[in-house]
Structure 1
Amino acid sequence: MTTLDDLPLRDNLRGQVPYGAPQLNVPVALNVNENTHRIPEAVAHDIVARIAETVIGLNRYPDREFSGLRERLARYLGHGLTAENLWAANGSNEVLQHVLSAFAGPGRTLLGFAPTYSMYSLLAAGGDTTWIPGLRDDEYELSAETAVAQVREHQPNVVFLCSPNNPTGTPINLETIAAIYDATDGVVVVDEAYAEFAPDGTESALSLLPGRPRLLISRTMSKAFAFAGARVGYLAADPAAIDALRLVRLPYHLSALTQAAAEAALDHTDEMLAMVDDIRGQRDRIVARLSELGYTPHRTHSNFVLFGGVEDPQALFTALLERGILIRDVGIPGHLRVSAGTESETTAFLEALSALSSKA
């Protein structure tokens, strides 16, 4: 049987493993940081109606500039942004792929601070960009001093900053982001996929955009908007940076159906985000109970918790799975990660973990 080794694959892709988390049919799936709350029924009906209206015109190509969606995204983000500051694609992964296609590539480098989102290195490999895994401070924090020293050492063409960071949940303060920007002539991308789950009053890196044309802020509708299956990611930046992304996108990359669904969801922003407070409450509940059980949860501004103090991560992962609860082994020794689910899902996880911990 033919294998990858028999094909003329690019050298930098040999030995690579595709991105993926276990997709198992279990009662409680808390492994991929999804928003496990369903879309409100009334909103769902409106989304379906908009899609139905759009189907009639599918003989025509979609709006190549997805103008209506960009206008709604600008209104949602605020900060004085207009449609000219917005970009969107099929999930934030494609947004980041566009960024690397425009500003990275052969002979160029991408710096991130590990452990961080595993897709960054895979996106780099896909675009033949050299991935540089930088180091973090203790407890997975990232100070300006630590980050700037590495930026100056490596002089990367692109820097990816995940804030809150996946898989650790730790945020990066605005002073650190500004210092990194000032230390490089390259593009700095702040991935704020989990921004809506930060404590009230937390300021977004969007506030740093004025006067910083090389700063790009990536967001997604997958998490807070419970829209993971729709695949809608977006980015805010200087209009010149948006023009750069136009150079590398495929024609009509956002389908008319995707645009219609996303526009409808954004027209119901309040209803779509109504579950965010509940998710934050369940996350804080997980943190508190983990500490009571003797684990070491890390600071998190996201909808998930990374916790250490796990003597045998694979054994605990398996024991929970046997009880119908799927969480994530992200490969950090002594750690596991769990998403905050609904109240009942969170209760199921905590009760199972308590029972297993009492037997340890």
Structure 2
Amino acid sequence: MTGWMTPALADVLAHRIRHDVQGMHAYAVQDAAGMIKLDAMENPYTLPPGLQVALGERLGRVAINRYPGPRVDDLRQALAHHVDLPPGCALMLGNGSDELISLLAMACDVPGASILAPVPGFVMYAMSAQLQGLAFHGVPLTADFQLDEPAMLAALQLHRPAITYLAYPNNPTANLWDAAVVRRLIAAAAEVGGLVVIDEAYQPFASRTWLDEMRAEPQAHAHVLLMRTLSKFGLAGVRIGYLIGAQALVHEIDKVRPPYNVSALNAECALFALEHADVFAAQAADIRAERDRLIAALAELPGVQPFPSEANMVLVRVPDADRLFAALKAAGVLVKNVSKMHPLLARCLRLTVGTPAENAQMLHALRQAL
């Protein structure tokens, strides 16, 4: 640190910024300029030109001189219709799922509260706990990336967490958990008075949704929240997440939501997208089909082990993750090196499913590197 460091600033850093925050690493976003971007599980398809024009004209009419108003309520209602909101449930909006995760930690920050999740998993679960001053308990998955049910049940009894996160499908392993195991964990969380959050960020690419379970057994899920995002739907740049759960529960959590957390422009973009949901559904179908082709092609490469996927990403174990990551980057293809995220991910890369052309270039670069 040079240039702007003064005694006053040094004093602020030493005494006013939390020491644990100073010891943290910020969420890393890789520089993707000029590269095929296959590192962040984004939908690779843009809006068709005609819809781009229509959206631009519509956004030009938004009253950006005013705070967001009724259109945000319109979006909440449109999403409720889109998901066929179960009776007795409410829906809360967030500035992406990340904000919802932070708000949940804030709302549940009672003395002794903690957060529990299987690991490896989405890093924001642990980060939100740390930033809110809560303990985080990670329970390792089995060697084949399944929930370790005995270990999860033991952790629930020992720690009695305020929140248990179950990503469905999981990131970065891309698999869905065994439904019977999830049901038993939900029941065990109820016994210790904790919430369960089912994170369905990758739902457009999965073969099933836990919302069906919530609809079929509402009483067993009174302490369960289901979280989704429009990022994987195709609106990563718009930042819209939403939370579904029992009305009484969502009502309390909504009290910690900042006013106007969803911008008028973002709300209008999301409403426009929901009006053209068939376009995004077709894109998701293309991505699912391309995912299957990609897994088959990866399985034919020497020393490469792709794992099953229910998301728009594929986890692969390779002979040397660091070397192959660097080789792909040198070839203009950016993926995610997760090999050091957790011991279970040793030698693993995470590949976003791109367009057919992008995937072909990635496979070509991978073959050359191997």
By the TM > 0.5 criterion, same fold?
A: yes
1:176-214 CA-to-partner distances (Å, cap 9, x unmatched) read: 222112112111001100011013xx2434532512221
In 2: Cα distance, 1:343 partner to 1:270 partner: 20
Q: TM-score, normalised by structure 1?
A: 0.91
Q: Distance in 2 between matches of 1:126 and 1:174?
A: 31
CA separation of 1:189/1:98 partners in 2, compared to 1, >3 Å: closer, same or farther? same
Instruction: Look up the SS of the partner of 1:156 in the other structure.
Output: coil
Instruction: Supply the distance in 1 between the matched residues of 2:61 and 2:180 (Cα, whole angstroms).
Output: 46
CA RMSD after TM alignment: 2.0
Partner of 1:168: 173
- Structure-1 separation of matches of 2:263 and 2:293: 39
Secondary structure in 2 matching 1:247 = helix
- Quick check: 241-250 or 187-196, which moved more? 241-250
Distance 1:150 1:296 in 2: 31
Q: State the alpha-carbon separation in 2 of the partners of residues 146 and 43 from structure 1.
A: 49
> In structure 2, what is the equivalent of residue 306 of structure 1?
315
The separation in 1 between residues aligned to 2:90 and 2:108, in whole angstroms, is 18
CA distances 1:256-299 after superposition (whole Å, capped 9, x unpaired): 11111111111111112211111112211221122111311122
One-letter amino acid of the structure 2 residue matched with residue 188 of structure 1: V
Letter in 2 for 1:275: Q
Say if 1:48 and 1:261, in contact at 8 Å, map to a contact too. Answer: no
1:141 Cα offset (Å)? 1.0
Amino acid aligned to 2:200:
E
Q: 1:11 deviation in Å?
A: 3.7
**Structure 1 residue identity aligned to 2:295:** V
* 1:233-252 mapped onto 2 (5 Å cutoff): 233-252=241-260
State whether structure 2 residue 217 is matched by structure 1 residue 208: no
Alpha carbons of structure 1 residues 45 and 104: separation in structure 2 relative to 1, 3 Å? farther
Match of 1:12 in 2: 20
Change (3 A) 1:203 1:62: closer
> Among residues 136, 147, 152, which one is paired with 2:152 in the alignment?
147
**Superimposed CA distance per residue, residues 275-328 of structure 1 (whole angstroms, 9 cap, x where no aligned partner):** 1111112211221122111311122100001111x2221111011111101101
Structure 1 residues without counterparts, runs of 5 or longer = none
SS of the aligned residue for 1:231 comes to coil
- Match for 1:30: what amino acid? L
Counterpart of 1:71?
Answer: 77
| 2:356 alignment partner in structure 1 | 343
- Paired with 2:209 and 2:261, the residues of 1 have a C-alpha distance of 31
Which of 83, 102, 109 aligns to 1:104? It is: 109
2-structure distance, mates of 1:188, 1:65: 30
- Partners of 1:300 and 1:356 lie apart in 2 by 24
Gaps (5+ residues) in structure 2? none
- Cα distance in 1 between the residues matched to 2:346 and 2:200: 26
Aligned to 1:124: 129
Residues 1:69 and 1:227: Cα distance change in structure 2 (over 3 Å): same
Percent identical across equivalent pairs?
A: 31
Q: Does 1:183 align with 2:188?
A: yes
Mapped partners of 2:272, 2:243: distance in 1: 19
More displaced 10-residue stretch of structure 1: 135-144 or 73-82: 73-82
